[in-house]
């Protein structure tokens, strides 16, 4: 195979690999965001203040 054809095949292979990576990121973006929100909720419940369940606004009406 000539050097030009070899270079073209490398460029095509690299661009297909890059496109596959972009598709994986876009396809998994929803799963990543759901995982982040779930982790944030669990950490808030675990390390939240003990006084968060009181409605302070209603005490001073």
34-43 confidence digits (pLDDT tens): 777 777 777 7
Residue that has been written with the tokens 């001073």 in this structure: 60
What pTM was estimated for this model as a whole? 0.50
The proportion of the chain whose per-residue pLDDT surpasses 70, expressed as a percent, equals 75
Cα of first residue to Cα of last residue in the chain, in angstroms, is 84
Q: How far apart are CA 46 and CA 29, in angstroms?
A: 26
pLDDT mean over 50-60: 68
pLDDT given for residue 44 in this prediction: 72
DSSP label at residue 2: -
pLDDT(16) > 80: yes
What tokens were used for 52? 């968060």
């Amino acid at each position: 195979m000539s050097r030009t054809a070899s270079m073209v095949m490398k460029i095509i292979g690299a661009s297909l690999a890059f496109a596959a990576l972009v598709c994986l990121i876009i396809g998994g973006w929803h799963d990543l965001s759901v995982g982040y929100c779930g982790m944030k909720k669990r950490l808030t419940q675990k390390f939240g203040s003990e006084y968060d369940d009181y409605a302070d606004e209603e005490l001073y009406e």
